[in-house]
Structure 1
Protein backbone atom coordinates (compact mmCIF):
# COMPACT_ATOMS: atom_id res chain seq x y z
CA UNK A 1 0.00 0.00 0.00
CA UNK A 2 1.28 3.47 -0.91
CA UNK A 3 1.55 5.85 2.04
CA UNK A 4 0.49 9.48 2.05
CA UNK A 5 4.11 10.53 2.39
CA UNK A 6 5.11 8.45 -0.65
CA UNK A 7 2.33 10.01 -2.73
CA UNK A 8 3.39 13.47 -1.59
CA UNK A 9 7.03 12.84 -2.38
CA UNK A 10 6.19 11.43 -5.82
CA UNK A 11 4.10 14.51 -6.64
CA UNK A 12 6.49 16.92 -4.94
CA UNK A 13 3.79 18.13 -2.57
CA UNK A 14 3.32 18.22 1.19
CA UNK A 15 0.50 16.19 2.64
CA UNK A 16 -1.27 16.91 5.87
CA UNK A 17 -4.66 16.09 7.32
CA UNK A 18 -7.32 18.82 7.12
CA UNK A 19 -6.39 21.70 9.40
CA UNK A 20 -8.81 22.37 12.23
CA UNK A 21 -9.32 25.47 14.34
CA UNK A 22 -11.34 26.15 17.48
CA UNK A 23 -12.95 29.52 18.16
CA UNK A 24 -13.81 29.70 21.87
CA UNK A 25 -16.29 32.51 22.44
CA UNK A 26 -16.30 32.06 26.23
CA UNK A 27 -12.54 32.05 26.71
CA UNK A 28 -12.00 34.64 23.94
CA UNK A 29 -9.41 32.46 22.21
CA UNK A 30 -8.63 30.89 18.85
CA UNK A 31 -6.74 27.59 18.77
CA UNK A 32 -4.86 27.48 15.46
CA UNK A 33 -4.13 24.34 13.40
CA UNK A 34 -0.82 23.79 15.22
CA UNK A 35 -2.56 23.84 18.60
CA UNK A 36 -1.40 27.31 19.62
CA UNK A 37 -4.01 29.14 21.68
CA UNK A 38 -4.24 32.81 20.69
CA UNK A 39 -6.16 35.62 22.34
CA UNK A 40 -8.92 37.04 20.16
CA UNK A 41 -9.35 40.82 20.34
CA UNK A 42 -13.00 40.71 19.31
CA UNK A 43 -15.76 38.22 18.56
CA UNK A 44 -19.17 39.22 17.18
CA UNK A 45 -22.00 36.88 16.26
CA UNK A 46 -24.52 37.64 13.53
CA UNK A 47 -27.34 35.42 12.25
CA UNK A 48 -25.21 34.55 9.19
CA UNK A 49 -21.82 34.06 10.84
CA UNK A 50 -19.08 34.82 13.35
CA UNK A 51 -16.62 37.73 13.17
CA UNK A 52 -13.23 37.67 14.85
CA UNK A 53 -10.19 39.91 14.94
CA UNK A 54 -6.85 38.96 16.43
CA UNK A 55 -3.15 39.76 16.22
CA UNK A 56 -0.70 37.23 14.78
CA UNK A 57 2.23 37.35 17.20
CA UNK A 58 5.43 35.93 15.80
CA UNK A 59 4.18 35.92 12.20
CA UNK A 60 6.88 37.72 10.17
CA UNK A 61 4.72 39.13 7.37
CA UNK A 62 1.19 39.50 8.79
CA UNK A 63 0.51 41.48 11.95
CA UNK A 64 -3.21 40.80 12.41
CA UNK A 65 -6.33 39.47 10.74
CA UNK A 66 -10.07 39.93 10.61
CA UNK A 67 -12.23 36.98 9.56
CA UNK A 68 -15.85 36.06 9.07
CA UNK A 69 -16.94 32.41 9.38
CA UNK A 70 -19.93 31.89 7.07
CA UNK A 71 -21.51 28.44 7.63
CA UNK A 72 -24.13 28.68 4.85
CA UNK A 73 -21.39 29.18 2.23
CA UNK A 74 -18.72 27.02 3.87
CA UNK A 75 -16.30 29.94 3.76
CA UNK A 76 -13.91 31.79 6.00
CA UNK A 77 -13.39 35.29 4.58
CA UNK A 78 -10.21 36.99 5.85
CA UNK A 79 -8.56 40.39 5.58
CA UNK A 80 -4.92 40.51 6.59
CA UNK A 81 -2.97 43.44 8.01
CA UNK A 82 0.54 43.32 6.62
CA UNK A 83 3.71 44.24 8.43
CA UNK A 84 5.59 47.14 6.79
CA UNK A 85 7.52 45.98 3.75
CA UNK A 86 5.44 42.80 3.32
CA UNK A 87 2.27 44.26 1.78
CA UNK A 88 0.54 42.15 -0.91
CA UNK A 89 -1.90 43.18 -3.60
CA UNK A 90 -4.73 41.19 -2.06
CA UNK A 91 -8.05 42.30 -0.59
CA UNK A 92 -9.71 39.09 0.65
CA UNK A 93 -8.63 35.51 1.23
CA UNK A 94 -11.34 32.83 1.27
CA UNK A 95 -10.78 29.40 2.81
CA UNK A 96 -13.18 26.56 1.93
CA UNK A 97 -14.09 25.14 5.33
CA UNK A 98 -16.62 23.00 7.13
CA UNK A 99 -17.98 25.08 10.03
CA UNK A 100 -19.57 23.61 13.15
CA UNK A 101 -21.34 26.19 15.26
CA UNK A 102 -22.14 26.22 18.96
CA UNK A 103 -23.04 28.55 21.80
CA UNK A 104 -19.57 28.37 23.37
CA UNK A 105 -17.33 27.22 20.50
CA UNK A 106 -17.18 27.20 16.73
CA UNK A 107 -14.90 24.79 14.87
CA UNK A 108 -13.59 24.76 11.32
CA UNK A 109 -12.04 22.05 9.20
CA UNK A 110 -10.12 23.33 6.20
CA UNK A 111 -10.81 21.63 2.87
CA UNK A 112 -7.59 22.77 1.17
CA UNK A 113 -9.08 24.98 -1.58
CA UNK A 114 -8.70 28.77 -1.26
CA UNK A 115 -9.66 31.84 -3.24
CA UNK A 116 -7.83 35.16 -3.48
CA UNK A 117 -9.95 38.18 -4.34
CA UNK A 118 -8.66 41.50 -5.64
CA UNK A 119 -11.80 43.58 -5.35
CA UNK A 120 -13.12 44.74 -8.74
CA UNK A 121 -10.21 43.09 -10.59
CA UNK A 122 -9.96 39.31 -10.28
CA UNK A 123 -10.42 36.13 -8.27
CA UNK A 124 -8.13 33.08 -8.30
CA UNK A 125 -8.68 29.53 -7.11
CA UNK A 126 -5.63 28.24 -5.20
CA UNK A 127 -4.24 24.97 -3.85
CA UNK A 128 -5.99 22.65 -6.31
CA UNK A 129 -2.84 20.49 -6.30
CA UNK A 130 -2.99 20.15 -2.54
CA UNK A 131 -6.71 19.36 -2.75
CA UNK A 132 -6.12 16.62 -5.34
CA UNK A 133 -3.38 15.11 -3.21
CA UNK A 134 -5.65 15.17 -0.15
CA UNK A 135 -8.35 13.32 -2.11
CA UNK A 136 -5.87 10.79 -3.54
CA UNK A 137 -4.43 10.12 -0.09
CA UNK A 138 -7.93 9.78 1.47
CA UNK A 139 -7.57 12.86 3.66
CA UNK A 140 -10.97 13.88 2.24
CA UNK A 141 -13.71 11.41 1.40
CA UNK A 142 -15.45 11.74 -1.95
CA UNK A 143 -18.61 13.43 -0.61
CA UNK A 144 -16.62 16.01 1.36
CA UNK A 145 -14.33 16.67 -1.61
CA UNK A 146 -17.25 17.08 -4.00
CA UNK A 147 -18.97 19.49 -1.60
CA UNK A 148 -15.81 21.58 -1.23
CA UNK A 149 -15.30 21.74 -5.00
CA UNK A 150 -18.95 22.72 -5.58
CA UNK A 151 -18.70 25.52 -3.00
CA UNK A 152 -15.42 26.73 -4.50
CA UNK A 153 -16.90 26.80 -8.01
CA UNK A 154 -20.04 28.57 -6.80
CA UNK A 155 -17.94 31.25 -5.08
CA UNK A 156 -15.63 31.63 -8.08
CA UNK A 157 -18.53 31.93 -10.53
CA UNK A 158 -20.57 34.21 -8.28
CA UNK A 159 -17.75 36.63 -7.50
CA UNK A 160 -16.79 36.76 -11.19
CA UNK A 161 -20.43 37.37 -12.24
CA UNK A 162 -20.58 40.29 -9.78
CA UNK A 163 -17.59 42.00 -11.40
CA UNK A 164 -15.15 40.59 -8.83
CA UNK A 165 -17.08 42.38 -6.10
CA UNK A 166 -17.08 40.05 -3.10
CA UNK A 167 -19.40 42.31 -1.10
CA UNK A 168 -22.02 42.31 -3.88
CA UNK A 169 -21.91 38.52 -4.20
CA UNK A 170 -22.29 38.12 -0.43
CA UNK A 171 -25.22 40.57 -0.41
CA UNK A 172 -26.82 38.49 -3.17
CA UNK A 173 -26.57 35.60 -0.67
CA UNK A 174 -28.16 37.62 2.14
CA UNK A 175 -24.88 38.39 3.91
CA UNK A 176 -23.66 41.91 4.71
CA UNK A 177 -20.19 41.93 6.23
CA UNK A 178 -18.80 44.79 8.26
CA UNK A 179 -15.15 45.19 9.08
CA UNK A 180 -13.61 47.09 11.97
CA UNK A 181 -11.02 48.57 9.62
CA UNK A 182 -13.34 50.01 6.94
CA UNK A 183 -16.94 51.06 6.27
CA UNK A 184 -19.44 48.61 4.79
CA UNK A 185 -19.10 50.03 1.29
CA UNK A 186 -16.14 51.11 -0.79
CA UNK A 187 -12.75 49.72 -1.75
CA UNK A 188 -10.29 48.32 0.74
CA UNK A 189 -7.92 51.11 1.74
CA UNK A 190 -4.22 50.47 1.15
CA UNK A 191 -2.18 50.15 3.18
CA UNK A 192 -4.43 49.10 6.05
CA UNK A 193 -3.49 49.86 9.60
CA UNK A 194 -4.00 47.42 12.41
CA UNK A 195 -7.54 47.09 13.74
CA UNK A 196 -8.06 49.11 16.90
CA UNK A 197 -7.55 47.16 20.10
CA UNK A 198 -10.10 47.21 22.87
Structure 2
Protein backbone atom coordinates (compact mmCIF):
# COMPACT_ATOMS: atom_id res chain seq x y z
CA UNK A 1 0.00 0.00 0.00
CA UNK A 2 1.34 3.42 -0.95
CA UNK A 3 1.20 5.99 1.85
CA UNK A 4 0.50 9.68 1.38
CA UNK A 5 4.07 10.40 2.54
CA UNK A 6 5.45 8.08 -0.18
CA UNK A 7 3.35 9.87 -2.81
CA UNK A 8 4.68 13.24 -1.66
CA UNK A 9 8.28 12.02 -1.65
CA UNK A 10 7.94 10.51 -5.14
CA UNK A 11 6.74 13.91 -6.39
CA UNK A 12 9.51 15.76 -4.55
CA UNK A 13 6.97 17.55 -2.35
CA UNK A 14 7.21 18.28 1.38
CA UNK A 15 3.59 17.11 1.81
CA UNK A 16 1.07 15.07 -0.21
CA UNK A 17 -1.14 16.84 -2.79
CA UNK A 18 -4.75 17.56 -1.74
CA UNK A 19 -6.68 14.30 -1.39
CA UNK A 20 -9.70 13.87 -3.63
CA UNK A 21 -12.54 11.39 -3.24
CA UNK A 22 -15.40 10.56 -5.58
CA UNK A 23 -18.83 9.35 -4.46
CA UNK A 24 -20.77 7.68 -7.29
CA UNK A 25 -24.42 7.44 -6.27
CA UNK A 26 -25.46 5.49 -9.38
CA UNK A 27 -22.75 2.84 -8.94
CA UNK A 28 -22.89 2.82 -5.12
CA UNK A 29 -19.15 3.40 -4.78
CA UNK A 30 -16.58 5.65 -3.10
CA UNK A 31 -13.22 6.07 -4.85
CA UNK A 32 -10.68 6.93 -2.15
CA UNK A 33 -7.63 9.23 -2.55
CA UNK A 34 -5.44 6.30 -3.64
CA UNK A 35 -7.88 5.28 -6.38
CA UNK A 36 -9.34 2.27 -4.56
CA UNK A 37 -13.03 1.80 -5.34
CA UNK A 38 -15.04 0.89 -2.23
CA UNK A 39 -18.63 -0.33 -2.05
CA UNK A 40 -20.94 2.03 -0.17
CA UNK A 41 -23.62 0.49 2.06
CA UNK A 42 -25.85 3.54 1.91
CA UNK A 43 -26.13 6.97 0.32
CA UNK A 44 -28.80 9.39 1.50
CA UNK A 45 -29.40 12.87 0.04
CA UNK A 46 -30.76 15.84 1.95
CA UNK A 47 -30.98 19.44 0.71
CA UNK A 48 -27.95 20.30 2.88
CA UNK A 49 -25.71 17.33 2.06
CA UNK A 50 -24.93 13.70 1.27
CA UNK A 51 -24.74 10.85 3.79
CA UNK A 52 -22.35 7.94 3.19
CA UNK A 53 -22.01 4.71 5.17
CA UNK A 54 -19.51 2.03 4.24
CA UNK A 55 -17.54 -0.82 5.78
CA UNK A 56 -13.76 -0.66 5.95
CA UNK A 57 -12.72 -4.27 5.29
CA UNK A 58 -9.14 -5.08 6.15
CA UNK A 59 -8.55 -1.93 8.19
CA UNK A 60 -6.71 -2.83 11.41
CA UNK A 61 -8.53 -0.31 13.64
CA UNK A 62 -11.72 0.76 11.85
CA UNK A 63 -14.70 -1.45 11.02
CA UNK A 64 -16.83 1.16 9.27
CA UNK A 65 -17.46 4.85 8.81
CA UNK A 66 -20.39 7.17 8.41
CA UNK A 67 -19.92 10.62 6.88
CA UNK A 68 -21.96 13.63 5.88
CA UNK A 69 -20.68 15.92 3.11
CA UNK A 70 -21.84 19.46 3.87
CA UNK A 71 -21.07 21.79 0.92
CA UNK A 72 -22.27 25.03 2.53
CA UNK A 73 -19.93 24.60 5.51
CA UNK A 74 -17.07 23.01 3.55
CA UNK A 75 -17.05 20.04 5.91
CA UNK A 76 -17.05 16.28 5.89
CA UNK A 77 -18.39 15.17 9.27
CA UNK A 78 -17.52 11.56 10.12
CA UNK A 79 -18.12 9.01 12.83
CA UNK A 80 -15.86 5.96 12.92
CA UNK A 81 -16.88 2.52 14.14
CA UNK A 82 -13.79 0.91 15.64
CA UNK A 83 -12.80 -2.69 16.19
CA UNK A 84 -12.81 -3.82 19.85
CA UNK A 85 -9.65 -2.70 21.60
CA UNK A 86 -9.13 0.28 19.27
CA UNK A 87 -11.61 2.73 20.80
CA UNK A 88 -10.68 6.42 21.02
CA UNK A 89 -12.05 9.33 22.99
CA UNK A 90 -13.51 10.95 19.89
CA UNK A 91 -17.10 11.60 18.84
CA UNK A 92 -16.79 13.36 15.47
CA UNK A 93 -13.99 13.93 12.95
CA UNK A 94 -14.37 16.92 10.63
CA UNK A 95 -12.35 17.33 7.43
CA UNK A 96 -12.15 20.78 5.83
CA UNK A 97 -13.08 20.15 2.19
CA UNK A 98 -14.51 21.65 -0.95
CA UNK A 99 -17.53 19.63 -2.07
CA UNK A 100 -18.56 19.43 -5.73
CA UNK A 101 -22.16 18.23 -6.00
CA UNK A 102 -23.90 16.47 -8.86
CA UNK A 103 -26.99 14.43 -9.60
CA UNK A 104 -25.13 11.10 -9.52
CA UNK A 105 -21.59 12.03 -8.53
CA UNK A 106 -20.09 14.06 -5.69
CA UNK A 107 -16.42 14.90 -5.24
CA UNK A 108 -14.42 16.24 -2.30
CA UNK A 109 -11.03 17.92 -2.22
CA UNK A 110 -9.41 17.83 1.22
CA UNK A 111 -7.67 20.98 2.46
CA UNK A 112 -5.46 19.34 5.10
CA UNK A 113 -7.07 20.90 8.19
CA UNK A 114 -9.13 18.60 10.42
CA UNK A 115 -11.09 18.97 13.65
CA UNK A 116 -11.61 16.38 16.36
CA UNK A 117 -14.77 16.96 18.39
CA UNK A 118 -15.38 15.47 21.81
CA UNK A 119 -19.08 16.15 22.31
CA UNK A 120 -19.85 18.77 24.98
CA UNK A 121 -16.14 18.93 25.95
CA UNK A 122 -13.75 20.31 23.34
CA UNK A 123 -12.55 20.61 19.77
CA UNK A 124 -8.97 20.32 18.50
CA UNK A 125 -7.62 21.71 15.22
CA UNK A 126 -5.25 19.21 13.58
CA UNK A 127 -2.71 19.10 10.75
CA UNK A 128 -1.89 22.82 10.71
CA UNK A 129 1.71 21.80 9.92
CA UNK A 130 0.59 19.97 6.75
CA UNK A 131 -1.62 22.92 5.80
CA UNK A 132 1.29 25.39 6.13
CA UNK A 133 3.61 23.13 4.11
CA UNK A 134 0.94 22.72 1.40
CA UNK A 135 0.47 26.49 1.14
CA UNK A 136 4.25 27.02 1.03
CA UNK A 137 4.59 24.33 -1.69
CA UNK A 138 1.77 26.05 -3.63
CA UNK A 139 -0.42 22.94 -3.45
CA UNK A 140 -3.18 25.27 -2.25
CA UNK A 141 -3.67 28.64 -3.91
CA UNK A 142 -4.13 31.64 -1.57
CA UNK A 143 -7.90 31.85 -2.14
CA UNK A 144 -8.44 28.15 -1.33
CA UNK A 145 -6.15 28.31 1.70
CA UNK A 146 -7.97 31.36 3.07
CA UNK A 147 -11.37 29.71 2.50
CA UNK A 148 -10.24 26.57 4.36
CA UNK A 149 -8.84 28.57 7.29
CA UNK A 150 -11.97 30.73 7.54
CA UNK A 151 -14.17 27.61 7.55
CA UNK A 152 -12.01 26.01 10.25
CA UNK A 153 -12.18 29.17 12.39
CA UNK A 154 -15.95 29.40 11.90
CA UNK A 155 -16.38 25.78 12.97
CA UNK A 156 -14.18 26.16 16.07
CA UNK A 157 -15.92 29.40 17.05
CA UNK A 158 -19.39 27.96 16.43
CA UNK A 159 -18.65 24.80 18.38
CA UNK A 160 -17.25 26.79 21.31
CA UNK A 161 -20.31 29.06 21.31
CA UNK A 162 -22.58 25.97 21.46
CA UNK A 163 -20.66 24.28 24.28
CA UNK A 164 -18.92 21.91 21.85
CA UNK A 165 -22.30 20.41 20.94
CA UNK A 166 -21.89 19.57 17.25
CA UNK A 167 -25.57 18.75 16.55
CA UNK A 168 -26.62 22.05 18.17
CA UNK A 169 -24.14 24.07 16.10
CA UNK A 170 -25.28 22.31 12.93
CA UNK A 171 -28.95 22.96 13.80
CA UNK A 172 -28.02 26.65 14.13
CA UNK A 173 -26.94 26.29 10.47
CA UNK A 174 -30.24 24.58 9.49
CA UNK A 175 -28.57 21.16 9.30
CA UNK A 176 -29.96 18.13 11.14
CA UNK A 177 -27.81 15.02 10.76
CA UNK A 178 -29.02 11.47 11.28
CA UNK A 179 -26.79 8.44 11.71
CA UNK A 180 -27.40 4.75 11.03
CA UNK A 181 -24.94 3.71 13.76
CA UNK A 182 -24.60 0.27 12.13
CA UNK A 183 -23.38 0.90 8.57
CA UNK A 184 -21.67 -2.47 8.14
CA UNK A 185 -24.91 -4.36 8.78
CA UNK A 186 -27.22 -2.34 6.58
CA UNK A 187 -30.29 -0.64 7.99
CA UNK A 188 -30.80 -0.54 11.73
CA UNK A 189 -32.78 -3.68 12.69
CA UNK A 190 -36.37 -3.45 13.87
CA UNK A 191 -36.88 -3.45 17.66
CA UNK A 192 -37.19 -6.93 19.16
CA UNK A 193 -39.50 -7.97 21.94
CA UNK A 194 -37.64 -9.35 24.91
CA UNK A 195 -39.04 -12.30 26.85
CA UNK A 196 -40.78 -11.28 30.07
CA UNK A 197 -38.46 -11.11 33.05
CA UNK A 198 -39.17 -13.38 35.98
What are the superposed Cα offsets for residues 40-71 of structure 1, whole Å, 9 maximum, x if unpaired?
A: 00000000000010001111100100000000
Shift of 1:78: 0.1
Structure 2 unpaired stretches of 5+ = 1-7, 188-198
Distance in 2 separating the partners of 1:66 and 1:60: 17
Q: Which residue of 2 aligns with 1:113?
A: 113
Q: Which residue of 2 aligns with 1:37?
A: 37
Is residue 61–residue 86 contact of structure 1 (8 Å, CA) maintained in 2?
yes
Q: Which residue of 2 aligns with 1:139?
A: 139
Q: Which residue of 2 aligns with 1:17?
A: 17
Q: Which residue of 2 aligns with 1:90?
A: 90
TM-score, length basis structure 1: 0.87
Q: Which residue of 2 aligns with 1:197?
A: 186
Distance in 1 separating the partners of 2:76 and 2:66: 10
Q: Secondary structure at the match of 2:149?
A: helix
Distance 1:38 1:7, change over 3 A: closer
Larger Rg: 2
Is residue 63–residue 194 contact of structure 1 (8 Å, CA) maintained in 2?
no
Q: Give the number of aligned pairs.
A: 178
The answer to whether the aligner puts 1:50 opposite 2:18 as a matched pair is no
Distance in 2 separating the partners of 1:58 and 1:99: 27
Q: Which residue of 1 aligns with 2:193?
A: none
Distance in 1 separating the partners of 2:144 and 2:59: 31
What pairs with 1:56-95 in structure 2 (closer than 5 Å)? 56-95=56-95
Q: Which residue of 1 aligns with 2:4?
A: none
Q: Secondary structure at the match of 1:43?
A: strand
TM-score, length basis structure 2: 0.87
Q: Which residue of 1 aligns with 2:191?
A: none
Shift of 1:196: 3.1
Q: Secondary structure at the match of 2:185?
A: coil
What are the superposed Cα offsets for residues 91-142 of structure 1, whole Å, 9 maximum, x if unpaired?
A: 0000000000000100000000000000000000000000000000000000
**Structure 1 vs Structure 2 CA RMSD:** 1.3
The answer to whether the aligner puts 1:165 opposite 2:165 as a matched pair is yes
